[in-house]
Amino acid sequence: MNLVTISGPPSSGKTSVILKTIAAMTGRGIKPAVVKFDCLYTDDDELYRKAGIPVKKGLSGSLCPDHYFVSNIETVVDWGLEQEYDLLVSESAGLCNRCSPYIKGIRAVCVIDNLSGINTPKKIGPMLKSADVIVITKGDIVSQAEREVFASRVQAVNPRAVILHVNGLTGQAVMSSVPCSTMMHIISPPSRGWSCVSACRQPSAPTVSERRGSARATRWVM
Ligand SMILES: Nc1nc2c(ncn2[C@@H]2O[C@H](COP(=O)(O)OP(=O)(O)OP(=O)(O)O)[C@@H](O)[C@H]2O)c(=O)[nH]1
Ligand SMILES: [Mg+2]
């Protein structure tokens, strides 16, 4: 099973991008599932369920959402392995700008939108700074100049990340600086042999079974 962590500020387009990406995988024999982490409220689980995607959700309440993520992700991974999913996507709203819901060696994708303001890339800390791939959404409602300025602010904060411009409404990738036409290539299980991860200058993501450590999750609320 391939685990991919997708994070980003609230309403940046994470669910839209994930839904479009998974829809693009239809017919390829991949069994995907999603886990949604949020702080106080989410109805994303309903959207995933409606799309026929198995989903779990966890709300951190008064805890730091990223610490809550760390405490629970292994339990979720166990669920994914038991159910024999090929791909487990974790969606987290970045509510704690000091931390990030990323795991060393597991592909980290940050979704940020063109409307969030040109200083937002500097404000959201490790969630953007340590991402392998940055997806910029909502380019359809800003000008070309605004898209370019925003992308350069993003790249200045994280020069090593691959940046993809994706329209969350259509799933189309535009202005990609890499030869990937859709997010599908970023999050697809490498074992299927059609991921263009290497073309994106990203190291091949190890599968979860390769990454399993000894630490155990302590808490999981659904
Ligand atoms: N115009 C436009 N709207 C978009 C795009 N991507 C997402 N949206 C809209 O932005 C809103 C928020 O999108 P979501 O996908 O729910 O965002 P999210 O990051 O999952 O939100 P939370 O999980 O609540 O933090 C929705 O109304 C989407 O239709 C885009 O590329 N262009
Ligand atoms: Mg969402």
The pLDDT tens digits of the residues spanning 119-145 come to 999 999 899 999 999 999 999 999 999
* Mean of pLDDT over the chain: 81
Are the beta carbons of 2 and 188 closer than 8 angstroms? yes
Token pair for residue 122?
A: 């500097």
Tens digits of residue pLDDT in 70-86: 899 999 999 999 999 99
Q: What is the pLDDT of residue 174?
A: 57
Output the CA–CA distances (angstroms, integers) from residue 82 to 70, 100, 123, in the order listed.
20, 26, 38
Q: Where are the domains of the chain?
A: 2-221
Is the pLDDT at 203 greater than 50? The verdict is no
Cα–Cα dist 136/17, whole Å: 10
Is the pLDDT at 220 greater than 60? The verdict is no
pLDDT band of residue 188 (cuts 50, 70, 90) is low
Backbone angles phi, psi at 196, to 5 degrees: -100, 35
Q: What is the pLDDT of residue 99?
A: 82
Q: Of 12-21, 39-48, 173-182, 193-202, which gets the smallest average pLDDT? A: 193-202
Reference 20, options 132, 186, 144; nearest CA is 186
Token pair for residue 215?
A: 């630490």
Our answer on whether the CB atom of 138 is closer than 6 Å to any ligand 1 atom is: yes
Gap from CA of 5 to ligand 2 centroid (Å): 13
Are the beta carbons of 18 and 104 closer than 8 angstroms? no
Our answer on whether the CB atom of 78 is closer than 6 Å to any ligand 1 atom is: no
Domain made up of 2-221: CATH architecture: 3-Layer(aba) Sandwich (3.40)
pLDDT band of residue 169 (cuts 50, 70, 90) is very high
**pLDDT over 90 percentage in the chain:** 59
Gap from CA of 27 to ligand 2 centroid (Å): 24
Q: Of all protein residues, whose CA lies closest to atom 25 belonging to ligand 1?
A: 10
Tens digits of residue pLDDT in 209-219: 444 443 333 23
* Strands 32-38 and 55-59, bridge-based pairing: parallel
Token pair for residue 140?
A: 């359809």
Ligand 1 pocket, mutate which of 6, 16, 120 (most atoms under 8 A from CB): 16
Q: Of all protein residues, whose CA lies closest to atom 3 belonging to ligand 1?
A: 138
Max distance between CA atoms of the chain, in angstroms, equals: 49
- Across 74-170, where does the E strand assignment appear? 87-93, 108-113, 133-137, 162-166
* pTM metric for this prediction: 0.85
Our answer on whether the CB atom of 147 is closer than 6 Å to any ligand 1 atom is: no
